[in-house]
């Protein structure tokens, strides 16, 4: 006899969006079940955000060691460093295990039942779960779809062998001698820069005429400068065509001419797509927004009692967006009055240097019809940046010209990801330039650049 479960809330997918929704629902006393076919934590914790930052950190530390093996103005000298990538990957895996185990503990603490298996809808309230012990049925009053996203695969470069996705790039035994990265978005450049620091000869192939197309040229210029310093080669306006002889070459087309690039590994990072197939969507009547599930400002779908959150609902495909949605939906199901009305969602690119963008860029603000005031403050004039050898970059503020309401804040520089909370808070709280200018920022810190950028936008910066 097939085992049956009944619950108030069923969450399909235990990535950041799903597990946060389940934990919050459990805290609110909702009888909750969460289903996950792989490891708890989803892409982000297992093969995305967390492990990639671990590899990036290891690459940064190795690059520092190499820096000190040469002539360093800091007076530090070391012998020629070496990297054992197997040990690095083992360290990364240990971090992932700690976090995924922690998610399991939090779900248990919140009295959430966890089913390991693949869920398929039978109707809007019923799901069949294929577990290792056989099929089980779950009937729920409310359902949250949090199935996430998967890497986009190019038909002429299918994953396998030397063609890898970001998942495989995080578990290599050694840095490849020649690494070709197809796609100059944030995933490709984060990993490409890391492997360049680890000793790989990295070539980037991008179909557009610029790197990091989600960010403006002013923000990406320091990244391009650093890539050049690392010896990375970039082919813009280039199309990948397929594998060359022996599978260790990539054929590309630039200006109508074909070239062949040596490639021990080819990392394809041309984006991610929502996982909307394979779990019985055809059994439901869900309105779609292009390739994404259409939702309203409460993350409700077109079917009563069914919600969708995270990557499956559209851009930006960011873990923290999904987590915020998950928390909100759990509270809505528990009877609270919530709406999705975020003024800004921070986006961080963990390249070298890092990029942070919150709210509107100058061009986006103008396109939205705003008359703006904007200025930047360079880290070359920031004492803390100087002492960190991190002078490339700046903080930029975008505000309305009439009332000085802050519309956006962007930064590029070493470690600027940690400024994202201050940037986001200023926009969510409706701060004006005068508000940031009036806050005493600790000295010496990189955060002073936010203060100075606001002062400069008002026309009276102190240190430039």
Residue-by-residue DSSP string for 374-440? EEEEEGGG-HHHHHTT--S-EEEEEEETTT-BEEEEEEEETTGGGGHHHHHHHHHTT-BHHHHHTS-
> What is the C-alpha to C-alpha distance for residues 21 and 373, in angstroms, rounded to an integer?
39
Beta carbons of 211 and 192 less than 8 angstroms apart? no
CATH of 163-270, one of 3.40.50.10320, 3.30.43.10, 3.30.565.10, 3.50.50.60: 3.50.50.60
Provide the pLDDT for residue 72: 85
Provide the pLDDT for residue 149: 97
pTM (two decimals): 0.96
CATH of 3-55+86-151+273-333, one of 3.50.50.60, 3.40.50.1970, 1.10.1370.40, 3.40.50.300: 3.50.50.60
- For the question of residue 443 being annotated catalytic, the response is yes
CB atoms within 10 A of CB 188: 26
The second-level CATH assignment, the architecture, of 347-458 is 2-Layer Sandwich (3.30)
Give the phi and the psi of residue 348 in degrees, each rounded to 5.
-125, 130
Pairing of strands 347-349, 354-359: antiparallel
Choosing from 443, 451, 460, 463, the catalytic residue is 443
Q: Do domains 3-55+86-151+273-333 and 347-458 have the same CATH topology?
A: no
Beta carbons of 360 and 398 less than 8 angstroms apart? yes
| Biggest CA-to-CA distance, the chain | 76
Beta carbons of 205 and 189 less than 8 angstroms apart? no
> What is the C-alpha to C-alpha distance for residues 313 and 146, in angstroms, rounded to an integer?
9
Q: For the chain, which residues make up each domain, given as ranges? A: 3-55+86-151+273-333, 163-270, 347-458
List per-residue pLDDT tens for the chain, 464 residues long. Answer: 789 999 999 999 999 999 999 999 999 999 999 999 999 999 999 999 999 999 999 999 999 999 998 888 899 998 889 999 999 999 999 999 999 999 999 999 999 999 999 999 999 999 999 999 999 999 999 999 999 999 999 999 999 999 999 999 999 999 999 999 999 999 999 999 999 999 999 999 999 999 999 999 999 999 999 999 999 999 999 999 999 988 899 999 999 999 999 999 999 999 999 999 999 999 999 999 999 999 999 999 999 999 999 999 999 999 999 999 999 999 999 999 999 989 899 999 999 999 999 999 999 999 999 999 999 999 999 999 999 999 999 999 999 999 999 999 999 999 999 999 999 999 999 999 999 999 999 999 999 999 999 999 999 999 99
CA-based nearest residue to 21, from 30, 368, 66:
30
> What is the C-alpha to C-alpha distance for residues 417 and 355, in angstroms, rounded to an integer?
7
> What is the C-alpha to C-alpha distance for residues 218 and 422, in angstroms, rounded to an integer?
21
């Amino acid at each position: 006899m097939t085992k049956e479960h009944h619950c108030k809330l069923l969450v399909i997918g235990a990535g950041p969006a799903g597990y946060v929704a389940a934990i919050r629902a459990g805290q609110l006393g909702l009888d909750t079940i969460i289903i996950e076919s792989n490891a708890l934590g989803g892409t982000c914790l297992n093969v995305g955000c967390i492990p990639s930052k671990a590899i990036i950190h290891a690459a940064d530390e190795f690059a520092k060691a190499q820096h000190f093996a040469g002539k360093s103005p800091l007076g530090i000298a070391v012998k020629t460093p070496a990297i054992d990538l197997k040990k690095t990957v083992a360290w990364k895996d240990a971090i992932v295990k700690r976090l995924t185990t922690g998610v399991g503990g939090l779900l248990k603490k919140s009295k959430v039942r966890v089913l390991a298996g693949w869920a398929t809808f039978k109707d809007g309230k019923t799901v069949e779960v294929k577990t290792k012990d056989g099929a089980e049925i779950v009937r729920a009053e409310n359902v949250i779809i949090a199935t996430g996203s998967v890497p986009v695969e190019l038909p002429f470069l299918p994953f396998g062998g030397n063609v890898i996705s970001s998942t495989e790039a995080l578990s290599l035994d050694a840095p490849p001698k020649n690494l070709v990265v197809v796609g100059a978005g944030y995933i490709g450049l984060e990993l490409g820069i890391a492997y360049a620091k680890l000793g790989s000869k990295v070539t980037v192939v991008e179909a557009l005429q610029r790197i990091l197309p989600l960010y403006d040229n002013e923000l990406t210029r320091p990244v391009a400068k650093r890539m050049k310093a690392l010896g990375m080669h970039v082919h813009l306006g280039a199309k990948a065509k397929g594998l060359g002889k022996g599978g260790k070459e990539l054929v590309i087309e630039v200006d109508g001419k074909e070239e062949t690039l040596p490639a021990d590994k080819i990392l394809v990072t041309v984006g991610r797509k929502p996982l909307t197939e394979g779990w019985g969507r055809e059994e439901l009547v869900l309105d779609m927004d292009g390739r994404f599930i259409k939702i309203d400002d409460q993350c409700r779908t077109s079917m009563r009692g069914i919600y969708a959150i995270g990557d499956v609902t559209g851009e930006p495909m960011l873990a923290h967006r999904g987590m915020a949605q998950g928390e909100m939906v759990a509270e809505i199901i528990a009877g609270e009055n919530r709406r999705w009305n975020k003024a800004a969602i921070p986006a961080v690119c963990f390249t070298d240097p890092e990029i942070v963008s919150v709210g509107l860029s100058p061009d986006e603000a103008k396109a939205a019809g705003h008359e703006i005031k904007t200025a930047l403050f360079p880290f070359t004039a920031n004492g803390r940046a100087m002492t960190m050898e991190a002078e490339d970059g700046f903080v930029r503020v975008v505000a309305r010209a009439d009332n000085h309401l802050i519309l956006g804040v962007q930064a590029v520089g070493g470690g600027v990801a940690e400024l994202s909370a201050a940037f986001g808070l200023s926009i969510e709280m409706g701060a004006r330039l005068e508000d940031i200018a009036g806050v005493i920022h600790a000295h010496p810190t990189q955060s002073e650049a936010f203060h100075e950028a606001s002062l400069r936008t008002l026309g009276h910066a102190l240190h430039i």
